[in-house]
Amino acid sequence: MGMQYAQTIRRLWYTQTAETFMLIRVVNGVVLFVQDLERCVAFYRDTVGLEVVFSDPVSVAFKMEGQDFLLLEVAAAAEMVGEEALGQHKGAGHEVLLCADVEDVDAAYETLTAKGIAFIRPPKDQAWGLRTAYFADPEGHLWELRHTLASAQ
């Protein structure tokens, strides 16, 4: 009985410890810092087809399922997080890849190509069980469109 009790207490302690340390459970918002807000809004609204749900002079938010997606002018971002934070990786290349699940990568690729988006990589089956295609927005933010391959389900 004593051994079972000790194992139960240990299991509960590890579970509570793991839960305590898992403070961040989901990323539910993306904010892209942009130089040219107007140009980026036109791209996401008119080319990609996202619906604007909020705007002010320095930012525009779009409707996305299950998360916030916002464009924020760099000057406003500097006020929010500080110039030092914005400049710490300057010139280091791409730091983030935004991944978006779609029903059919090939259909999304055809639709967006017809709207003038030049893809970096066309649709391709990946070894990790996804079909992917890649493009960049007007300021170079990289996007991956993806769906799970039937063989991986």
Residues with Cβ within 8 Å of 92's Cβ and at least 6 positions away in sequence, in order, are: none
Rounded Cα–Cα distance for residues 128 and 95 (Å): 21
Domains of the chain are 26-92 (3.10.180.10), 93-153 (3.10.180.10)
What are residue 82's phi and psi, to 5 degrees? Answer: 95, 140
**What per-residue confidence (pLDDT) applies to 10?**
53
Q: What is the pLDDT of residues 31-48, one digit of tens each?
A: 999 999 999 999 999 999
pTM recorded for the entire structure? 0.72
Query: Token digits for 124?
Result: 């391709």
